Homo-oligomer: A and B are copies of this chain.
Protein backbone atom coordinates (compact mmCIF):
# COMPACT_ATOMS: atom_id res chain seq x y z
CA UNK A 1 0.00 0.00 0.00
CA UNK A 2 2.77 2.42 0.92
CA UNK A 3 4.20 3.86 -2.24
CA UNK A 4 1.24 2.83 -4.37
CA UNK A 5 -0.28 6.31 -4.22
CA UNK A 6 1.21 9.60 -5.35
CA UNK A 7 2.60 11.70 -2.46
CA UNK A 8 0.28 14.62 -3.18
CA UNK A 9 -2.74 12.31 -2.98
CA UNK A 10 -1.45 10.91 0.30
CA UNK A 11 -1.01 14.43 1.67
CA UNK A 12 -4.59 15.30 0.72
CA UNK A 13 -5.94 12.09 2.30
CA UNK A 14 -3.96 12.92 5.43
CA UNK A 15 -5.50 16.42 5.58
CA UNK A 16 -9.04 15.00 5.42
CA UNK A 17 -8.11 12.32 7.93
CA UNK A 18 -7.31 15.01 10.51
CA UNK A 19 -10.87 16.35 10.46
CA UNK A 20 -13.13 15.16 13.31
CA UNK A 21 -15.14 12.02 12.53
CA UNK A 22 -13.34 11.40 9.22
CA UNK A 23 -11.58 8.02 9.22
CA UNK A 24 -8.92 6.74 6.84
CA UNK A 25 -11.37 5.28 4.34
CA UNK A 26 -13.68 8.30 4.22
CA UNK A 27 -10.63 10.55 3.90
CA UNK A 28 -9.54 8.52 0.87
CA UNK A 29 -12.99 8.71 -0.70
CA UNK A 30 -13.14 12.48 -0.17
CA UNK A 31 -9.62 13.03 -1.54
CA UNK A 32 -10.37 11.12 -4.74
CA UNK A 33 -13.64 12.98 -5.04
CA UNK A 34 -11.82 16.30 -4.78
CA UNK A 35 -9.41 15.09 -7.49
CA UNK A 36 -12.34 14.21 -9.72
CA UNK A 37 -13.92 17.66 -9.33
CA UNK A 38 -13.46 20.24 -12.09
CA UNK A 39 -10.31 22.23 -11.33
CA UNK A 40 -12.38 25.40 -10.89
CA UNK A 41 -14.40 23.84 -8.05
CA UNK A 42 -11.27 22.50 -6.35
CA UNK A 43 -9.67 25.94 -6.41
CA UNK A 44 -12.90 27.40 -5.02
CA UNK A 45 -12.75 24.88 -2.17
CA UNK A 46 -9.13 25.74 -1.41
CA UNK A 47 -9.78 29.47 -1.45
CA UNK A 48 -12.88 29.04 0.74
CA UNK A 49 -10.57 27.57 3.38
CA UNK A 50 -7.92 30.30 3.16
CA UNK A 51 -10.54 33.06 2.80
CA UNK A 52 -12.45 31.93 5.85
CA UNK A 53 -9.24 31.87 7.84
CA UNK A 54 -8.12 35.29 6.68
CA UNK A 55 -11.44 37.11 6.90
CA UNK A 56 -13.05 35.54 9.93
CA UNK A 57 -12.50 37.05 13.36
CA UNK A 58 -14.61 37.63 16.44
CA UNK A 59 -17.52 40.10 16.44
CA UNK A 60 -16.53 43.14 18.50
CA UNK A 61 -19.72 42.85 20.50
CA UNK A 62 -20.83 39.21 20.90
CA UNK A 63 -17.57 37.39 20.00
CA UNK A 64 -19.34 35.22 17.41
CA UNK A 65 -17.29 34.57 14.25
CA UNK A 66 -17.85 37.12 11.51
CA UNK A 67 -16.07 38.78 8.59
CA UNK A 68 -17.26 42.28 9.51
CA UNK A 69 -16.63 44.40 12.56
CA UNK A 70 -20.02 43.36 13.90
CA UNK A 71 -21.78 40.07 13.12
CA UNK A 72 -25.08 40.10 11.18
CA UNK A 73 -27.06 39.56 14.39
CA UNK A 74 -25.45 42.43 16.32
CA UNK A 75 -25.87 44.67 13.24
CA UNK A 76 -29.59 43.88 13.00
CA UNK A 77 -31.49 46.86 14.48
CA UNK A 78 -34.64 44.75 14.91
CA UNK A 79 -32.99 42.57 17.56
CA UNK A 80 -33.95 43.10 21.21
CA UNK A 81 -30.79 44.47 22.82
CA UNK A 82 -31.96 43.93 26.40
CA UNK A 83 -31.51 40.14 26.36
CA UNK A 84 -28.24 38.22 25.85
CA UNK A 85 -28.14 34.45 25.33
CA UNK A 86 -24.76 32.99 26.36
CA UNK A 87 -23.58 29.95 24.37
CA UNK A 88 -20.39 27.92 24.23
CA UNK A 89 -19.68 27.83 20.48
CA UNK A 90 -20.64 29.65 17.26
CA UNK A 91 -22.54 26.57 16.05
CA UNK A 92 -24.83 26.86 19.08
CA UNK A 93 -25.92 30.26 17.71
CA UNK A 94 -26.81 28.54 14.42
CA UNK A 95 -28.85 25.92 16.31
CA UNK A 96 -30.80 28.55 18.26
CA UNK A 97 -31.35 30.75 15.18
CA UNK A 98 -32.93 27.77 13.43
CA UNK A 99 -35.79 27.86 15.95
CA UNK A 100 -36.76 31.34 14.62
CA UNK A 101 -38.15 32.02 18.12
CA UNK A 102 -35.30 34.03 19.58
CA UNK A 103 -34.91 37.61 18.46
CA UNK A 104 -32.44 39.09 20.94
CA UNK A 105 -28.62 38.99 21.09
CA UNK A 106 -25.98 36.35 21.84
CA UNK A 107 -22.63 36.06 23.52
CA UNK A 108 -20.22 33.32 22.43
CA UNK A 109 -17.83 32.06 25.12
CA UNK A 110 -15.63 29.99 22.76
CA UNK A 111 -15.40 27.13 25.21
CA UNK A 112 -16.23 26.19 28.81
CA UNK A 113 -14.32 26.36 32.04
CA UNK A 114 -12.42 23.08 32.12
CA UNK A 115 -9.55 22.83 34.61
CA UNK A 116 -8.63 19.37 33.27
CA UNK A 117 -7.93 20.88 29.85
CA UNK A 118 -6.27 23.93 31.37
CA UNK A 119 -9.09 26.29 30.38
CA UNK A 120 -9.92 28.91 33.00
CA UNK A 121 -12.35 31.85 32.87
CA UNK A 122 -9.64 34.09 31.37
CA UNK A 123 -9.40 32.01 28.18
CA UNK A 124 -13.13 32.53 27.55
CA UNK A 125 -14.90 35.78 26.63
CA UNK A 126 -16.37 36.23 30.11
CA UNK A 127 -14.67 39.60 30.61
CA UNK A 128 -16.31 40.90 27.43
CA UNK A 129 -19.71 39.63 28.64
CA UNK A 130 -19.40 41.41 31.99
CA UNK A 131 -18.43 44.61 30.13
CA UNK A 132 -21.53 44.33 27.91
CA UNK A 133 -23.82 43.85 30.91
CA UNK A 134 -22.17 46.85 32.62
CA UNK A 135 -22.20 49.20 29.63
CA UNK A 136 -25.33 48.28 27.68
CA UNK A 137 -28.89 48.30 28.87
CA UNK A 138 -29.12 44.54 29.47
CA UNK A 139 -32.09 43.23 31.47
CA UNK A 140 -31.68 39.46 31.18
CA UNK A 141 -28.87 37.00 30.49
CA UNK A 142 -29.97 33.50 29.41
CA UNK A 143 -27.35 30.83 30.11
CA UNK A 144 -27.47 28.32 27.23
CA UNK A 145 -24.28 26.37 27.81
CA UNK A 146 -24.46 22.60 27.23
CA UNK A 147 -26.07 20.42 29.91
CA UNK A 148 -22.70 18.88 30.82
CA UNK A 149 -20.80 19.18 34.10
CA UNK A 150 -18.48 21.76 32.54
CA UNK A 151 -21.33 23.69 30.93
CA UNK A 152 -23.11 23.80 34.33
CA UNK A 153 -20.01 24.97 36.17
CA UNK A 154 -19.45 27.72 33.63
CA UNK A 155 -23.09 28.85 33.87
CA UNK A 156 -22.95 28.99 37.67
CA UNK A 157 -19.61 30.84 37.60
CA UNK A 158 -20.93 33.47 35.18
CA UNK A 159 -24.24 33.89 37.03
CA UNK A 160 -22.34 34.67 40.24
CA UNK A 161 -20.38 37.37 38.40
CA UNK A 162 -23.46 38.91 36.82
CA UNK A 163 -26.03 38.87 39.64
CA UNK A 164 -24.30 41.66 41.65
CA UNK A 165 -24.71 43.86 38.54
CA UNK A 166 -28.48 43.72 39.01
CA UNK A 167 -29.25 41.71 35.88
CA UNK A 168 -31.68 38.77 35.73
CA UNK A 169 -29.82 35.52 34.96
CA UNK A 170 -31.84 32.55 33.66
CA UNK A 171 -31.06 29.04 32.40
CA UNK A 172 -32.53 26.98 29.54
CA UNK A 173 -35.12 24.51 30.88
CA UNK A 174 -34.15 20.88 31.45
CA UNK A 175 -36.56 18.15 30.49
CA UNK A 176 -37.48 15.35 28.16
CA UNK A 177 -36.64 16.12 24.50
CA UNK A 178 -39.83 16.68 22.50
CA UNK A 179 -40.72 13.47 20.66
CA UNK A 180 -38.51 11.45 23.00
CA UNK A 181 -39.60 8.35 24.90
CA UNK A 182 -39.82 8.56 28.68
CA UNK A 183 -38.35 5.05 28.74
CA UNK A 184 -35.06 6.23 27.27
CA UNK A 185 -34.61 9.36 29.36
CA UNK A 186 -31.96 9.02 32.07
CA UNK A 187 -32.85 9.43 35.75
CA UNK A 188 -31.24 12.85 36.17
CA UNK A 189 -33.19 14.23 33.21
CA UNK A 190 -36.44 12.76 34.60
CA UNK A 191 -35.82 14.30 38.02
CA UNK A 192 -35.18 17.69 36.38
CA UNK A 193 -38.29 17.28 34.21
CA UNK A 194 -40.36 16.55 37.31
CA UNK A 195 -38.92 19.53 39.17
CA UNK A 196 -39.62 21.83 36.27
CA UNK A 197 -43.18 20.59 35.67
CA UNK A 198 -45.74 23.18 34.72
CA UNK A 199 -49.51 23.37 34.91
CA UNK A 200 -51.42 22.37 31.77
Chain A interface residues (CB < 8 Å from chain B):
1, 3-9, 11-12, 14-15, 18-22, 25-26, 28-35, 39, 41-53, 55-56, 65-68, 71-73, 89-91, 93-94, 97-98, 100, 183-184
CB distance B30 to A53 under 8 Å?
A: no
Q: How far is the CA of A19 from the CA of B48 in the complex (A)?
A: 14
A52 is contacted by which of B8, B19, B28 (Cβ under 8 Å)? B8
> CB-CB < 8 A to A6: which residues of B?
55-56, 65-68, 71-72
Copies in the complex: 2
> CB-CB < 8 A to A89: which residues of B?
32
Q: How far is the CA of A55 from the CA of B51 in the complex (A)?
A: 23
Cβ of A195 to closest chain B Cβ, rounded Å: 19
A53 is contacted by which of B39, B52, B94 (Cβ under 8 Å)? B39
Q: How far is the CA of A52 from the CA of B6 in the complex (A)?
A: 9
CB distance B53 to A1 under 8 Å?
A: no
